[in-house]
Structure 1
Amino acid sequence: MIKPMKLMKGDTVGVVAPAGTPKRQALEKGVQFLVESGLQVQLGEHVHKEWGYLAGSDEERAEDLHRMFRDREIKAIFCARGGYGSARMATLLDYSLISKNPKIFWGYSDITFLHLAIAKNTGLVTFHGPMIASDFGRESIDPDTRESFQQVFSDQQQSFPYGGHPPLQTVVDGLAFGRLTGGNLTLMTSTLGTPYEIETTGKILFMEEINEEPRSVDRMLNQLLLAGKLQNAAGIVLGDFHDCTTEDKPSFELAEVLEHYLKVANRPAVHGLKAGHCSPNFGIPLGVNAILDTNRGQLQIDNGVR
């Protein structure tokens, strides 16, 4: 496990677009958030490029990421948005370069594939957190989302529920300890059978999703179960499953689908972590040790920076 260095006020950070092209106005507003946080910002060369639904070719997007890891003046790398395309450049990345230049790498949704690929090939702790254009570029930002971003400046541990939020809701009782892994359900499932396949044995598995019907969530969870990824985990934490509904009848409700697979897996499990396509959207480090205590409805996560 390699922890990146925490940021200091005045540090320069980079913004890249490993998937889709961000909207200019949203990106400008998100960059302003970084500036107001005391950081200087450098944009990737191809962050505004449009190539189909991608922000440049696979080679261009990979080179933007390489350039940020290579530049010693850049202390952290933040993703502008998700969409689709991160997995297309996984085989192009220089993991030796990333390993030799550890720094904060931050994003979520489609970026999940890169979190898992980087973890498997380098051991670098990365961050599942709100993105510069699609989250910090909104008209208003939830105060808790803002506060959660401050973890990049501190080596303090995190504990959820955060602030005055209610306890996490127990689905399967138990106590679990292990390194935190996971991210977006669709992207985790897409790693199966690839060199970047998610490893869950003895780990606490975090999952979130957006805009998938209950039957699609069912299909993906069933695939993870058949692959041994759910029942081999030490524990399971569900984040936000935004707009995962259907008007088709008959259908199971999302809650029924989730509860079914968590109970079949029979690992300590909770839901209600505000991480994913939601507001507030808490940033969490992946690859660090965590403790899940369902009796307290609490998830404790080790610091992600040093």
Structure 2
Amino acid sequence: MINSLQAGDKVAIVALARKVDFADLEPGINILESWGLQVVLGKTLYESFHQFAGPDEIRLADFQTMLDDPEIKAIFSARGGYGTTRLLDQINFTNFRQQPKWLIGFSDITALHSHIHNFGIESIHGTMPALFAKTGAEEAVESLRKILFGENITYQSPAHDLNILGQAEGPLGGGNLSLLVTCIGTTSDIDTSGKILFLEDLDEYLYHIDRMMVQLDRAGKLKNLAGLIVGSMSDMKDNAVPFGKNAYEIISEHAGKYGYPVCFDFPTGHEPKNLALVCGRKSILKVTDAGTSLEYFQTSL
């Protein structure tokens, strides 16, 4: 288990993927400092290389420096976008595995979460500094603070017509559907058996969602789950000839046949209320007529 943060700890912000407008980070930096943290800014926050926050070698070196620095207790990805998978096989995790620290982010950062999930090390799927000041993000930011500082937290979500009732226990894992599918067959691919999987996505065609769910199912990622949490499926698109189902209905078709509890419209993903989830932490998912609850055991994988 990773040590909780304390006032005075150093934390880093780096850009693993898309380039950053530094002005977007300033409110997030101020919030982290208001928590009593010392914020160390990575070189990639000032870099630009086409759509990336610098060339691969710059982003890799920046992340590696923060990963290996024993004084840095947590690393925040400034934002998502695309680019993390380009780096994963070149990162040296030796020091990190001996002295783990919190890694925080979502979206493209799902690939990093999945990669270190296989080490048995927890990480946080949560909002990122460039989004801290977004209208409606207050609960997301506060949930992240509570987890980082070791406070107990339980989440509640309203009932949904497609929910499948039941209770599940198991380690949390998951994130962005597109990235999870991208990781299949690589060293970042996770074993989902006995896990509570969570999914979210953004700006996809509905047939893409169906194709990716078919891939997850064919790869054996759905059959042996303990439970499934479906977060926001934001800004979905359809073709001129409609697919015929929305994103939640598509996911329900593929996962609903297995009988484990499934909840929909859980507040995680590309919406301001993106509650922080601890990847790798054993959790209890309860889906009832009244709604859904998720709480953590205080143990890891």
Tell me the TM-score normalized by structure 1: 0.91
| C-alpha distance in structure 2 between counterparts of 1:254 and 1:202, whole Å | 24
User: Could you tell me how far 1:154 is from its partner in structure 2?
Assistant: 3.3
| Secondary structure of residue in 1 paired with 2:110 | helix
Task: Specify which of 145, 150, 155 is matched with residue 150 of structure 2.
Answer: 155
Give the counterpart of 1:136 among 132, 136, 146.
Answer: 132
**1:158 Cα shift?**
2.6
Match of 2:132, as an amino acid?
A: F
- The whole-number CA distance in structure 2 between the counterparts of 1:96 and 1:170 is 43
1:282 pairs with 2:275: yes
Say if 2:231 is the partner of 1:239: yes
CA 1:169–1:199 in structure 2 vs 1: closer, same or farther (change >3 Å)? farther
User: How do 1:186-205 and structure 2 match up within 5 A?
Assistant: 186-205=178-197
Cα offset for 1:264? 2.7
1:78 corresponding residue in structure 2: 76
1:115–1:126 Cα contact (<8 Å) kept:
yes
C-alpha distance after superposition, 1:63-113 (max 9, x if no partner)? 212211222221111110000010011101112121122111100000000
Instruction: Look up the SS of the partner of 2:129 in the other structure.
Output: coil
1:119 partner letter: H
Query: Taking structure 1 as reference, are residues 169 and 237 closer, same or farther at Cα in structure 2, changes over 3 Å only?
Result: farther
User: Following superposition of structure 1 onto structure 2, how do residues 59-70 of structure 1 map, counting pairs within 5 Å?
Assistant: 59-70=57-68
More displaced stretch, 60-69 vs 84-93? 60-69
Q: Secondary structure of the equivalent of 1:260?
A: helix
For 2:62 and 2:147, how far apart are their aligned partners in 1? Answer: 22
CA contact (8 A) 2:122 2:279 kept: yes
Instruction: Choose from 95, 98, 118 the match for 2:96.
Output: 98
1:145 to 125, 140, 162: 140
2:68 alignment partner AA: R
Please, which runs of 5 or more residues in structure 2 have no aligned partner? none
Distance 2:51 2:169 in 1: 40
CA distance in 2, matches of 1:27, 1:154: 21
Counterpart amino acid of residue 185 in structure 1 = L
Aligned 8 A contact 2:6 2:149 in 1 = no
Q: Are 1:257 and 2:254 counterparts?
A: no
Report deviation, 1:304. Answer: 7.7
| Counterpart AA for 1:156 | E
Secondary structure of 2:104 counterpart: strand
SS of residue in 1 equivalent to 2:231 = strand
Distance 1:260 1:266, change over 3 A: same
**Please, which moves more after superposition, 262-271 or 233-242?**
262-271
SS in 2 for 1:20: coil
Counterpart of 1:237 in 2: which secondary structure?
strand
How many residues end up aligned between the 2 structures?
Answer: 297
| Distance in 2 of aligned mates of 1:84 and 1:267 | 32
| Residues 282, 299 of structure 2: 8 Å contact kept | no
CA contact (8 A) 1:168 1:298 kept: no
Instruction: Report if aligned partners of 1:245, 1:254 keep a CA contact under 8 Å in 2.
Output: no
Residues 170, 294 of structure 1: 8 Å contact kept: no
Q: CA deviation at 1:193?
A: 1.3
2:177 is the alignment partner of 1:185: yes
What is the match of residue 270 of structure 1?
263
RMSD: 1.9
Alpha-carbon deviations, 1:113-134, whole Å to 9, x = none? 01111121x321000000111x
User: Kindly, what percent of the aligned residue pairs are identical?
Assistant: 34
Gaps of 5+ in 1: none
